[in-house]
Structure 1
Amino acid sequence: MMEEFDRKTDGGKKVTIDLIMLSSFNRAGGGRETWAYNFLPRLLQEKAEVSLYIYGLKNNDEADHSSAFCSYFADSSRRRLSVKIFNAAKSRLPRVFLMVGCLLRSPPRANGVADELRISLGVGSVIELAMILLFRNFRTQRRVLWLRGIYLHEKAPRIPFFLEALARKIEISILSKAHVILANGDDIAEHYRALGLEVTVIKNGVDLARWQMPPPTLKAPIKVAFVGRLSKVKGIEEFFRSIELVRARDEASNFEFHIVGDGEYASRAVELAKLGHLKYHGAKPNDEIAEFLRNIDVCVALTFSSSTLGGGGTSNALMEQMAAGKIIIAWDNPHFRQLVEEDIAYLVGQGRCDELADTLVRICGERDVALAKALGGVEVIKRYSFQAQVDRFADIILAEH
C-alpha cells in the first residue's frame, strides 16, 4: 500500500500529480532518470501545493532504487511524495504489459477531494499515455504526456515495414487523447506537429553550478570521451571506427580514448580496452560523471538523427558536457543543432568517421580555437537551468484550466 501523507500546504489550490514512467529510477539509467532526479525534487520544493505519486517498474533481479531516489527530495517535500516501483516478474512479455499487470494488482489511489487539480503525467512515450488511459482513476484526470523521444523511430528496427503505417495511426490515435503534450526538444515537437498534434517544448535543464570546472588542459595525450548508451543509434560503432582511424595516423600518441556507458556494444568496448585501444569505465551514475569529466578534454556527441531515426530532444549528456566546458565534436544534424552551432562546437558530417578523426587531429593544431569554442558553449548553456524548467512547467501545467 502507498503511504498516506499530510495534504496541508502553504496555500493555493492543492495539486496532485500521478506520474507514470516505465523506469526503475536507477540514477545511472539515462536521460529520463537524470531528469527525474533533478526536476522532481525541485518541483516539490518550489511548489508547496503539489503532491506527487510516482509509479515505476524494475526488473526482478534489479535492486530497488526507491530509497535512493527519495533521498534526493528535501525533508519538507517527502510528506508530499510517494514512490511505488513495482517488481516485474520474470517473463518474456514486454515491460509495459508487466507494469500494467502490477497496476491491476495494486490499483492506483482513489481520486482526491473536489478542490484538487488532479494530473496524470506520463514521461517517456506513447506507452506511458496508454497506461494512463487504461485506468479510470488516471484517465479521468488532466492527462499530460512529456515526450522524451519519437517512439516509432526508436522501435523502427523491430516493426515490419508493412505494419509501419498502422503503428503510426495507432500512436497518433493514442496521443490525441492527451490534454497536453510536452516535448523536451524541437525535433520531437516538429515531428509530431507535422502529424497534426499540438506540442509544447520544455527543453532539458542542467545544474550549472554542479558542472562548473576548470577548462580543458589539452596536454598530451588529449583525452577524448564517449558518454552514453552503447547502441547503434548513439553512434558507438562510428566512435570505434574513428579510434582505429586515429590509431593508424602519426598523431595517434596524442590521444587517449575513454568510454562511459553500457549497452549492446559493451562487450566490444571491453575487447578494445583489453587491446589497449581505449579505456572502458562501464556505466557510471550521473553523480559520478562530473568528476570523470574533470580529466577529459574532448567529448563526442554522435546520436543519429533522420526522418526515420533519432528524435531524442535536447541531450542531457551534451548539455552537461557544455556546462563543464568540454570541447564538443558532434554530428551536424537537427538533434544537436538545437544546442550547438559551429562557433561553439566542431560539427562533422553524420556518420563520417574520417571527418571525426580529422577533427581530432585538427584540434591538436588549433588549441586556442578549440578552447574558445568550449568557452562559448558554457555561455550558451547558461540559458538552460532546472529552475527555468520548473517555472515553465508550472506556467503550462499547474495553472488552472
Structure 2
Amino acid sequence: MIKNSLHIIIFSDVSKTSGGKETWLEYFINSIHSDYINIYVYCIAYSDIDFPSNVIFVDSKHKSLPGYLFSSFRAIKKHSAEGDECIYCGINIEAMIFILNKITNINLKHIIWIRGTGIGELKYFWSNKSMRNRIKLYIATLVERYSFAKSKYIIYNGEDTRVTFEQRYGIRENAKTIPNALDLEPSLNTHIDNNLVHSVAYTGRLVNTKGFQYFVEAANRMRETKMTFHAWGENVNQVIKDSDHILYHGAYTRKELPIIASNSLCFVFLNNNTSNAAGGISHSILEALALSRIVIAWDNATHRQLLNSANSILVEEGNIDQLINAIRSLPNLNLNTLTQMMEAAYQTALPYSISEHVKLYKEFVGHT
C-alpha cells in the first residue's frame, strides 16, 4: 500500500534541454513515480516535459536564491507529511532548505544526493577573491559541512565524488554511491563510413567548466583538415564569437541523441577534473557509450569511472596538442580497431540501467 509522498528539491529551470541534474530528474521520476502518493518537485521554473499525473511541480517563480529558498520551504511545510522522503539535489544551495527543515523539525526522511564536488565547484565559479565571494564561500562551506554531518542519508553520484567528500570530511555512515544511469536503450551500431570518421561532436553545456574552450581551439587549429566539428548545446552567441569552424545545432533533447550519433562517429568530453569543478558519472558519456560511439576524453579520475583504453581514446588533461592528434587519428584507425572500441563502449553502458539505479535507491533508504 502506498503511504507516503516524495519531495525533490532542485534549484533549477527544469526543461527538456536542461543539464545533468534535470536529466536525472526525468529518468528517476518516470521510473519511481508509482511508488508514491505524489511526487512534489520544488524548482525555479518548469516547462516542456511530460510527467505522470501524480508529479506536481511547485514552481517558485523566484530566480533569486532567497526567494527560491523561502517559497520552497513554505511549500514543503504545506505539502509534506510525517515519514515522507525528501531528496535534496545538491549539498550547497538545495541543502539550505535541508537546514531550514531540520531546525524547524519537519519530520521527513532527509536524503542529500551529492551531484558534484560541492564547494570545489563553487570555488571555481567564484574564483574572483572579492569580499563578497569570500563571504559566499564561507557560508556555503558551513552549509556543506553541517548538511554532510546531519542528513540521515548521503548519496554520491560517483566514486570520485565519494572520495572527494570523504577526504574533506571523513567516512560517513548511511552513505552510498549510486551512479547516474540511462533511460536510453543501448544500441550496438558499428556501421562506419568516410563521413562518420571525419565528424566530431560535442554535446552538453558550452562552457569552460566542461572544457568547451578546448573543443573550440581544436576546431580552429584544424581548419585545413576534412574534419567537421558539431556543437550541440546552449550558448550560441559564444560559439559564433569563438569559432566559425563549428557547426552549431542548438539545444537538443535526449530523444535526438540517436540522430546526433548517426552523424558523428566521435564524441568529445573535456570535463576539467584538476580544477575540482566536475564530478560524478556523466550522463552524456553514458549516452555516447550506449550509442556505441568513439569517445575522446581527458584522462582523469572522473572520466575513468567509465572510460579506459578499450572503449575510448584518453589524452592528457589540458593538452590541446594531444587532443588534436587524437582527433586527427580517427580516419587513420583501421576498421577492426574502431569496431572493437565501439563494441566495448556499448558493453560498458549496459549495467547502468535506470531500473538498477532506482532499485539501489529504494534498498538504501529502506523504501518498501
TM-score, normalization: structure 1? 0.82
Pairing 1:365-380 to 2, within 5 Å after superposition? 365-368=332-335, 369-380=337-348
Which residue of 80, 84, 93 maps to 2:58? 84
Which residue of 93, 97, 108 maps to 1:127? 93
Aligned to 1:333: 300
CA 1:167–1:41: 2 relative to 1, 3 Å: closer
- Aligned equivalents of 2:366 and 2:344: distance in 1? 35
Aligned to 1:349: 316
Aligned to 1:98: 67
Q: 1:15·1:398 contact (CA, 8 Å) conserved in 2?
A: no
Q: 1:143·1:179 contact (CA, 8 Å) conserved in 2?
A: yes
- Aligned equivalents of 2:9 and 2:230: distance in 1? 35
- Aligned equivalents of 2:242 and 2:80: distance in 1? 54
- Aligned equivalents of 2:277 and 2:242: distance in 1? 27
Aligned to 1:224: 200
Aligned to 1:239: 215
- Aligned equivalents of 2:299 and 2:20: distance in 1? 21
Pairwise CA RMSD = 2.4
Shift in Å, 1:167: 4.9
Q: 2:281·2:305 contact (CA, 8 Å) conserved in 1?
A: yes
CA shift digits 1:211-261 (9 cap, x unpaired) = 52633524136110011111111111111111223235xxx02x1110011
Aligned residue pairs, count: 356
- Aligned equivalents of 1:281 and 1:22: distance in 2? 27
CA 1:51–1:271: 2 relative to 1, 3 Å: same
CA 1:72–1:81: 2 relative to 1, 3 Å: closer
Aligned to 2:238: 268
CA 1:214–1:29: 2 relative to 1, 3 Å: same
Aligned to 1:174: 147
TM-score, normalization: structure 2? 0.89
Pairing 1:30-45 to 2, within 5 Å after superposition? 30-45=19-34
Greater alpha carbon shift after TM alignment, 142-151 vs 120-129: 120-129
SS in 2 for 1:181: strand
Shift in Å, 1:197: 4.6
Aligned to 1:191: 164
Aligned to 2:84: 118
- Aligned equivalents of 2:93 and 2:206: distance in 1? 23
Which residue of 16, 28, 49 maps to 2:5? 16
Q: 1:126·1:175 contact (CA, 8 Å) conserved in 2?
A: no
Q: 2:111·2:154 contact (CA, 8 Å) conserved in 1?
A: yes
**Match status 1:214 vs 2:189:** yes
For structure 2, the 5+ residue unaligned runs are: none
Q: 2:178·2:361 contact (CA, 8 Å) conserved in 1?
A: yes
The letter for the 2-side match of 1:82 is I
For structure 1, the 5+ residue unaligned runs are: 1-10, 59-63, 90-94
The letter for the 2-side match of 1:214 is N
CA 1:138–1:335: 2 relative to 1, 3 Å: farther
CA 1:144–1:364: 2 relative to 1, 3 Å: same
The letter for the 2-side match of 1:23 is S
CA 1:330–1:37: 2 relative to 1, 3 Å: same
